Amino acid sequence: MPTPATSTASAAAKRPRGRPRKTLEDRDDGNRRRELLQSAAKLFRRKGFDATSTRDIAAAAGMQSGSPFYHFKSKGALLYAVMQEGMGSAIERQQQALQRAEAETPDIAGQLRILIRSHFEVLLGPGSDFIPVMLYEARAITPRQRSALAALRSDYEAPWTPVLNALHASGQLRAEVKLARLLMFGALNWSAQWFDARKEASLDDLADAAMQLFIRDLE
Amino acid sequence: MPTPATSTASAAAKRPRGRPRKTLEDRDDGNRRRELLQSAAKLFRRKGFDATSTRDIAAAAGMQSGSPFYHFKSKGALLYAVMQEGMGSAIERQQQALQRAEAETPDIAGQLRILIRSHFEVLLGPGSDFIPVMLYEARAITPRQRSALAALRSDYEAPWTPVLNALHASGQLRAEVKLARLLMFGALNWSAQWFDARKEASLDDLADAAMQLFIRDLE
DNA sequence: CCTACCGATCGGTAGG
DNA sequence: CCTACCGATCGGTAGG
């Protein structure tokens, strides 16, 4: 829950930073921009892009109504930045998960489990507003932005292809790889609509269920 | 493609109906309401609820800007009506598909295929704007409306439960039924995001791929 | 980053 | 169902 804008702003006014001078660096512009991104991601996810006003976002970040436009040249640019940020960190997390797993040299099904588990984390884990926004607000961006994001998406999906091909070749994945991939991502991505972290199932439970659903001859 | 509003309106003015008197029945209010629902469903799907203005909808149905409010008391009521209409016809189609199949007494996997095939038709077939709107614009309706639709959704999903339970019992579906159902619907529902009727795959291809992906020991 | 503001658009309504 | 209209809200900007 974000603190209401007014109290955040007044708290900041009452509690001056350690350094006395009020230079630009003191303002820590990078952090303000990051707070805007976070607030925007959370609101875009909860209410949708069109139902979120730039005033909502400003208030959530403890700013006045016009201030977001000091950091982003338009509301659309903010949305696009949220999506880029989401894809960037998703790719990063995925690569880290794959590298961590390399030490254990898992079998091919084990590699798919790593990818699926990492995908659920990006989608449902802590701070996971960016990717759902990217998935569910694609209508609101320009064609040029869409194709730039499609390139990032290809990067993200690249590690999946050899794994799925190998599983198909070994008979553990029966459906044609191209359609299987689309259906599998649907099963995973849709979880952003129903998953409730407070409820029974954990991300590991989800990954187990997905593996059992898609892959035969496990272990 | 809907005819532009102006030409539709002027055509109607130039071509009086068969009956000379201008009573209310002559106006055929039921059809106008239906045209509004169709236009709204198409626009809500393409642009989203918030990005669609009631003026857009009116124009698509060949009306003036204030006229939708003669048929629906608010924009939200229009959205809700689209969703109800979608669920109603989805349930109807599903029951017809199941009845048609009864004559052939298919095995349990065959029954799942019927349900999946019917689901793809409701989602991707001709005139399939209503259910995607229901799936992707749920944020925009009130909690009361949401729970009323959840009841319809339960009706729709009811035939799936015994089929999935039986497949789980026979070992053809390995994952726990509750999570499997959520993941499966995700795989199917997500197709509304990527399916292109002009491209290679048919709805039967999709149903085949889904069956191969989810179910073992087919035929 | 704030203050003050603008033009455009929007959902909805009164009266016919 | 149309005409004419209203109040509210919104994205964005100038000037500091």
Other Cβ atoms within 10 Å of A153 Cβ, number:
16
Is the confidence at residue B18, as pLDDT, over 70?
no
Average pLDDT, chain B: 88
Residue with token string 């974000």:
A2
Convert the pLDDT of each residue in B168-214 to its tens digit. Answer: 999 999 999 999 999 999 999 999 999 998 888 999 999 999 999 99
Query: Most A CBs within 10 Å: which of B119, B182, B215, as the mutation test of the A interface?
Result: B182
A42 φ, ψ to 5°?
-65, -45
Of B103, B205, B175, the closest CA to residue A180 belongs to B205
Convert the pLDDT of each residue in B97-125 to its tens digit. Answer: 999 988 887 899 999 999 999 999 999 99
Is the confidence at residue B90, as pLDDT, over 60?
yes
Does A139 sit within 8 Å of B51, measured CB to CB?
yes
Does A201 sit within 8 Å of B179, measured CB to CB?
yes
The tens place of each residue's pLDDT in chain A, 219 residues long, gives 333 333 333 333 333 333 333 333 334 567 899 999 999 999 999 999 999 999 999 999 999 999 999 999 999 999 999 999 999 999 999 999 999 988 887 899 999 999 999 999 999 999 899 999 999 999 999 999 999 999 999 999 999 999 999 999 999 999 999 999 999 999 999 999 999 988 889 999 999 999 999 999 876
Q: Which domains does chain A have, with CATH numbers?
A: 83-214 (1.10.357.10)
In chain A, the residue whose alpha carbon lies closest to the alpha carbon of B206 is A179
pLDDT confidence band for B29 (50 / 70 / 90): low
Does B191 sit within 8 Å of A187, measured CB to CB?
no
Q: Side chain identity at B57, as an amino acid letter? A: I
Instruction: Considering any atom of strand C, list protein residues whose CB lies within 7 Å.
Output: A 9, 27, 29, 32-33, 36, 58, 62-67, 70-71; B 52-56, 65-66, 69, 73-76
Convert the pLDDT of each residue in B138-175 to its tens digit. Answer: 999 999 999 999 999 999 999 999 999 999 999 999 99
What is the C-alpha to C-alpha distance for residues A141 and A137, in angstroms, rounded to an integer?
Answer: 8
Q: What is the pLDDT of residue A27?
A: 47
* Nucleotides of strand C lying closer than 7 angstroms to a protein CB: 1-5, 9-15
Q: What is the pLDDT of residue A131?
A: 98
Q: What is the pLDDT of residue A214?
A: 98
Q: Which of B48, B187, B218 sits opposite A187 (nearest CB)?
A: B187
CB of A51 less than 8 A from some CB of B: yes
Q: Which residues of B touch A180 (CB under 8 A)?
A: 209, 212-213
Closest approach of B104 to chain A, Cα-based (Å): 26
Alpha carbon A23 to its chain's center: 34
CB B37 under 7 Å to nucleic chain D: no
Q: What is the pLDDT of residue A15?
A: 31
Does B174 sit within 8 Å of A190, measured CB to CB?
no
pTM of the model: 0.88
Does B205 sit within 8 Å of A179, measured CB to CB?
yes
8 Å CB contact between B179 and A205: yes
Q: What is the pLDDT of residue B219?
A: 63
Integer distance in angstroms from CA A47 to C1' D1?
A: 34
Q: Side chain identity at B194, as an amino acid letter? A: W
Q: What is the pLDDT of residue A4?
A: 35
Does B51 sit within 8 Å of A140, measured CB to CB?
yes
What is the C-alpha to C-alpha distance for residues A193 and A178, in angstroms, rounded to an integer?
Answer: 24
CB of A194 less than 8 A from some CB of B: yes
